[in-house]
Amino acid sequence: MDRIVITGGIPLHGEVEISGAKNAALPILASTILSGGECVITNLPRVVDVLTMGKLLGILGAKVQHEGNRAVIDAGTISSTQAPYDLVKTMRASVLVLGPLLARWGEATVSMPGGCAIGSRPVNLHLAGLAKMGAEVSMEHGYIRAKAKRLRGAQIYCDTPTVTGTENLMMAASLAEGTTVIENAAKEPEIVDLANFLVKRGARIVGAGTDVITIEGVRELHGSDHDVIPDRIETGTYLVAGAITRGAVTLNRCRPNHLDALLMKLREAGVELKVEQDRIHLNAASRLKGIDIRTLPYPGFPTDMQAQMVALMTAAEGTSVITETVFESRFMHVEELRRMGAEIKIEGTRAVVTGPTKLTGAPVMASDLRASAGLVLAGLAAEGTTEILRVYHLDRGYERMEEKLRGLGATIARQKEGAAQAGTR
Ligand code: UD1
């Protein structure tokens, strides 16, 4: 398996271009299933999850031409409604094909996503919503099977705001008979991007980005073009890279207004930020202050930035308390950060970080996508060499990360399997 080797302690300087949002690209690609006709999607990030979604659409029988940041898809040729385990197990977001397959083709069989490193991650709310719309949903041999001649509009209340659940239901409701109201919907910008794409294709959706989304079902949708929004988590990760190395970085082609909570927290920690419409300049202070953070659904502080902020807080003065409220066991990076010298205690859902500590390079193991990003950031700040194993997690969600960081002056390289020396763990 590949590993990433970083020699830390170099302040990062320069500019980075932000890629398209993985979490917007995935539902947008899945939604092409809802109609025939050509959909041209641009600003797709070149990451493994996006390739996997393209592959899944191909397996279902859609015509997919995917090159670089652009895909041309026509799902009029779909011949299968089954999403196999082999693909779903590599990417939980494959469950996003459930709503569109069911709404357009009357049935869907999707492998049940398993647990993962950050918790049990159920899909009960996706299923309950579809059942409310008249689908017969059952579980057989590890597969979710859903059937409905035509879905009916319904009033749906989500017990907790779920991002992919809201997206699945919004896509399904677009072709249902009558009006669907999703209450306590998730409000993430990626949901708004999906709704904008669906509306361009003839869907009638109001309220995306608020906690009540109303969808008036239509008979059919058509193809359209769409440019995916910039990735707010990638943006946040490079901001922390600048801050943790005490550097000065400019992020281009991003959407600062999707990052309000993070920008406020970085300022509270003493980081200097200059924000323009689609750019952020960061100048790290020589001293960082410890702050408290609580992850919440959007517009609260994103759980996908929690690991990166835990890494940053190891460099801040005083005690920081980071509370994870979205996922149950999302502190796998903490043990690895401790091996690099961090002082962090886990108390239930809280990580209590005492800083500043001088991190020292060590071999560490990535457990999930954002935990890996946290370890890369720690490695950039640490004295000496950090080796990060299991980097396939990073490749799922960050486009050309080493190249972008090298562009900012980091000493970072990928060792291909075989070329790597025997690791210690
Ligand atoms: C999405 C993001 C992921 C991010 C997460 C939270 C994508 C592809 N992934 O994941 O990067 O970390 O939002 O911002 O967009 N829940 C239930 N029942 C359900 C569904 C969810 O109880 O049926 C719970 C989950 O266990 C979790 C919470 O709801 O505690 C939020 O999860 P959810 O928003 O669904 O996360 P994902 O959509 O899987």
Walking along the chain (425 residues) 10 residues at a time, the average pLDDT comes out as 94 98 98 98 97 97 97 97 92 96 98 70 94 96 95 98 98 98 98 98 98 98 98 98 98 98 98 98 92 98 98 98 92 95 96 97 92 97 96 93 98 80 38
Distance in angstroms (rounded) separating the CA atoms of residues 27 and 170: 11
> 416 CA to middle of ligand 1, Å?
32
Kindly report the protein residue whose alpha carbon is nearest to atom 29 of ligand 1. Answer: 162
| pLDDT at residue 286 in the model | 78
- DSSP structure string for 291-320: --EEB-STTSB-GGGHHHHHHHHTTSBEEE
- Residue pair 330/324 in contact (Cβ under 8 Å)? The answer is yes
Distance in angstroms (rounded) separating the CA atoms of residues 66 and 54: 7
Token pair for residue 102?
Answer: 């069911």
Distance in angstroms (rounded) separating the CA atoms of residues 211 and 191: 11
> 162 CA to middle of ligand 1, Å?
5
| pLDDT at residue 369 in the model | 92
Distance in angstroms (rounded) separating the CA atoms of residues 162 and 168: 10
| pLDDT at residue 52 in the model | 95
Strand 363-365 to strand 82-83: parallel, antiparallel, or no bridges (unpaired)?
unpaired
Distance in angstroms (rounded) separating the CA atoms of residues 384 and 69: 35
Residues in CB range of 348: below 8 A, 6 or more apart: none
306 lines ligand 1 (CB under 6 A): no
User: How long, in residues, is the chain?
Assistant: 425
Q: Give 360's DSSP letter.
A: B
Distance in angstroms (rounded) separating the CA atoms of residues 191 and 304: 16
Distance in angstroms (rounded) separating the CA atoms of residues 352 and 349: 10
Distance in angstroms (rounded) separating the CA atoms of residues 393 and 306: 16
Catalytic residue among 39, 116, 158, 254: 116
Kindly report the protein residue whose alpha carbon is nearest to atom 32 of ligand 1. Answer: 162
115 lines ligand 1 (CB under 6 A): no
φ, ψ at 8 (rounded to 5°): -90, -175
Token pair for residue 112?
Answer: 């049940």
Q: Which residue has the tokens 């990638």?
A: 234
303 lines ligand 1 (CB under 6 A): yes
> 163 CA to middle of ligand 1, Å?
5
Token pair for residue 369?
Answer: 């996508």
Q: Is 39 known to be catalytic?
A: no
Q: Give the number of other CB atoms < 10 A from CB of residue 19.
A: 26
CA of residue 312 relative to chain centroid, distance: 20
